[in-house]
Amino acid sequence: MPDNTTANQRALEEGIVTDLKDRMTYGSYLDLDRLLSAQHPVSVPEHHDEMLFIIQHQTTELWLKLVLHELGTARDRLAEDDLRSALKHMARVKHIQEVLTQQWSVLATLTPTEYAQFRGDLGNSSGFQSVQYRAVEFALGNKNERMLSVFRSHPENLAMLTAELERPTLYDEFLRFAARRGLPIPAEILDRDVRQPYRMHDSLVPVLTEIYENPHDHWDLYEACEELVDVEDNFQFWRFRHLRTVTRTIGRKIGTGGSSGVDFLQRALDLTFFPELYAVRTEIGQ
């Protein structure tokens, strides 16, 4: 007969290290003392649900940091003509995006009544001011130099976003790679000012049509095009989920940062990163 007092316990194996003095530990490696003490509710008295609000946004920022890390390396690999490695990093971005989208369901448990009890304590802080989110949009092609003014009081953030403004986008690097592979990418695209937002170029659509209608001749480029579409679709799903979460939580109130709130988020759904990759679908099979 087993001892009922220990039947539901797992024995501590002899090889497990328990003397952790002067050793690197799980907590020290991850800097958990600092990470887990970085939640500072400002509501007085402290509202229970403010912790949810803080952690939701902090974890989003951690994932955005990783997205930027992966997008940066994907662009480096494309510039080095290493498409396979670039696709690996793009695939990782897609999985991160799925997690980010799913996270909205947690914040959506915050009811309008609950949020109203501490929203006024947030001042003008707003997700609109997220430098990492803005950097992701820049990396994908939605550049807006006027956004730099939001970060002029924070030199480090301003420098980071300025560097992203001046760097070729993921799409830029892909199209440059395709040109080096011999495809007739229009010079107006290859020579464009990368500080400007990417705009639709009708002259690129026939080039992409060639890739899509002859996938066996351009298989890796064909795959890359679909990976890019996946990234944009996922970004739009995230935007839409954000919109719906805000709608159910604050309705049509003005945003804490001064934006029009829901209307501002709605307009973002009209923005696109890789317009020709959607336009080409109309041409295939014509």
Residue of 129, 154, 140, 147 whose CA lies nearest to 72: 140
Task: Check the annotation: does 57 bind a ligand.
Answer: yes
State in Å, rounded, how far the first CA of the chain is from the last one.
76
In the chain, how long is the greatest CA-to-CA distance?
A: 80
- Distance from CA of residue 16 to its chain's centroid? 38
Task: Check the annotation: does 60 bind a ligand.
Answer: no
Task: Check the annotation: does 256 bind a ligand.
Answer: yes
Task: Check the annotation: does 242 bind a ligand.
Answer: yes
Please, are residues 280 and 208 in contact by the beta-carbon 8 Å criterion?
A: yes
Residue of 231, 232, 256, 233 whose CA lies nearest to 246: 256
- Pair of tokens at residue 115: 């949020």
Task: Check the annotation: does 154 bind a ligand.
Answer: no
Task: Check the annotation: does 55 bind a ligand.
Answer: yes
Separation of alpha carbons 93 and 28, rounded Å: 27
Residue list for the binding site for substrate: 53-57, 115, 119, 256
Residue positions in the annotated binding site?
Answer: 53-57, 115, 119, 242, 256
Residues flagged as binding site for heme: 242
